[in-house]
Copies of this chain bind each other. A is one copy, B any other.
Amino acid sequence: MVDDLLRLESVDLDRGARRLLTGVSFQVRPGDCWQMLGSNGSGKTSLMRTIAGLTRLGLQGQRICTDNLLYQGHLPGLKTGLSCRENLRWHASGGVVSNVEKIDAALAHVGLQGYEDRVICQLSAGQQRRVGLARLWLSQAQLWLLDEPFTAIDVRGTALLEAQMQRHCAAGGAVVFTSHQPTGMSEIKILDLNQYAA
């Protein structure tokens, strides 16, 4: 039997005195691609950060999660004063990759060839997001947690990212992402948080 990468069993989530979600259960197995749906403020980000272990919001119930994960949230995690390459080099050093060729290749994958030495603050909004998402081509993590990865990304970029996410799942990884737009990916599992609203 394949081990679950992530399992929530009837989890309740609180923010201070307010209960956001009740009885959320889902399991992520290798190869799964989950899209979290839910209206604004339904608790997608809160749940994802709790899964990643970033916040310890009032969580009742069982949570099992692999340590080998990549989280990309609303914040870019980029230093605006450093170049694309310098930023990714630091991110990649958290994993294993650190040679410049791989980093430049990842930047090329997200359509930023020629921008390697440009500092982040001189890029457009979408280009900045792309630098952050170039980590998907560098990471060795098995579970990807992506909070609204398609923000500010154009149509071609969205297709690129979707392809990479599917490639990752096919290779035995798993993805949990949020997005308000329907995607063009096949075999997607939907977790609608509006169902679990407290």
Chain A contacts to B: CB under 8 angstroms: 38-41, 44-46, 74, 111, 123-127, 130, 148, 151-158, 180-181
Contacts and interface: CB of A to CB of B under 8 A. Distances in A.
Given A151-B151, A152-B148, A152-B151, A127 B41 contact: yes
Interface centre among A38, A126, A157 (most CB of B within 10 A): A126
Interface of A is mostly: loop
Query: How many chain copies does the complex carry?
Result: 2
Contact of A124 (B41, B124, B151): B41
B154 A125 contact: no
Contacts of A38: 154
A41 B123 contact: yes
A126 B152 CA distance: 14
9 contacts: A40-B126, A40-B127, A40-B154, A41-B123, A41-B124, A46-B124, A125-B148, A126-B180, A181-B181
Given A40-B154, A41-B126, A152-B180, 13 more contacts: A38-B154, A40-B111, A40-B124, A40-B125, A40-B127, A40-B152, A40-B153, A41-B123, A45-B125, A46-B124, A74-B125, A155-B180, A181-B181
A153 B44 CA distance: 13
